[in-house]
Structure 1
Amino acid sequence: MNIQPLSSDFWFARWFDSPYYARLYGHRDEAEARAFVSHLTTQLALPQGAAVLDLACGNGRHAEALHAQGLRVWGYDLSPTQLSQAQERTAPGLQFRRHDMRTPFPDRGFSAVFNLFTSFGYFQTDAEHRGVLDHIHAALIPGGHLVMDYFNLSYIRQNLVPEEEKNLDGVHFLIKRRIQKGSIIKDIHIQDGHLHSFFSERVRAYTPEALEALLQRQGFGVTHRWGTYAGDRFHPEKSPRLILFARREN
């Protein structure tokens, strides 16, 4: 598989290191993370002290919530800015490291891997996405769990807001959304005083069927599907999220 080297030209490398990212998504709070993680760990029934990985952990809010559930937690992320915030949460049994998920993981033996807040589908080729799943598979114990939190494409299509504006702490955001060439694209125009910035998010528009087929091809069996962070059953048209529970099969 041809892996392109790390570069600030990748949209996720630029955007997640920007101070505007945290400002735009600041409504994703600690209480929300704790509630979601509580639902997840109840579903999985992991033993106390089990080793788990928060893959693309961001500032560590989900990793810290997992640790509070009595788990030993590793958090991986690519962004130095996000990791610097996450590392402030470091504690015995809770550690963070910088890692590109497209390369083999330095740690193994996880009972579960959590990939939350649409942290998959960022790359240019399907081979790269399959490679990520291969690395997750290799890092899990036999029968280990993968929890993937993705968007529900049908819901996005029905509820897409093509354009909106937000003013947050004196910063103006103009956000334009579209579905184009198999990706969901969000263009973010920012005006902060006299400073103008532009970022773009681009995530592969996997249908639930395509994402499940991808997981199955890479050695996972899907066991449960949720449609909300509260654990409601997935509905193909009405659910805003697609939260897949899968297990390593071999």
Structure 2
Amino acid sequence: MILSVDGVEFSYKSKKVLENIKFKVDKGDVVSVLGINGAGKSTLLKCINRILKPKKGAILIDDFNLNKLNSLEIAKKIAYIPQSVNGNYISVFDAVLLGRKPYIKWEVSKKDLKITSDILKLMNLEDCALRYTKELSGGELQKVAIARALAQEPRILLLDEPTNNLDLKNQMAIMKIIKNISRSQNISSIVVTHDLNLALRFSDKFIMLKDGMIFSEGNNEVINSKNIQEVYDVNAYVDNYNGIPIVVLV
């Protein structure tokens, strides 16, 4: 077990957004957080990363309480990729190198440069290392964001709708990268997504949120017709095609 979320609650002023959230995540797992807009999914990621401070509850990473860690220490354990990733006039190499910021004291070290180069190779970004991120496609830009996060050498990756606005090919590519990295690097990935089929195909565990609370949690058995109807208010059934579970709306 790498992450433990115990009784987390959060409110925006008087509006309660998260209530008594409890779950655990194992090393190497990909966890999908599911639910309708406004269910508290993005807020949960921000609470885990301490962008937002929970009103109640504890979050433990490797048995360290996040309340007792400073922002630099948290950045060495958690990498967060927001919904919107934009390019600018910075090279891909430098963008990924920025992920080493928590470790850089006075100047960039040989180790920082090597880690950046190795990650570019891992993510197949070597050929565009010197291009401006502003020149990249949506899929390439998302890969750069993941590469920068990996440069932090985190224990946990938090990804808020990483396939948003990507075509089908890039959606599959990004989810494969997340799955493979989680396994090979022994990193736990928590992914907010609206795509139940991508979630079913690439995730090990599922957390379904409704009205700021955990409605259901567990393996792919929680993605069933009854739960989908309760959480999303739509009729659907879960079928199987060549060993791959799929959600079909009816």
Whether these two folds match at TM > 0.5 is no
Flag the structure with higher helix content: 2
TM-score by length of 2: 0.35
TM-score by length of 1: 0.35
Larger RCO, structures 1/2 (Cα 8 Å, 6+ apart)? 2
Flag the structure with higher strand content: 1
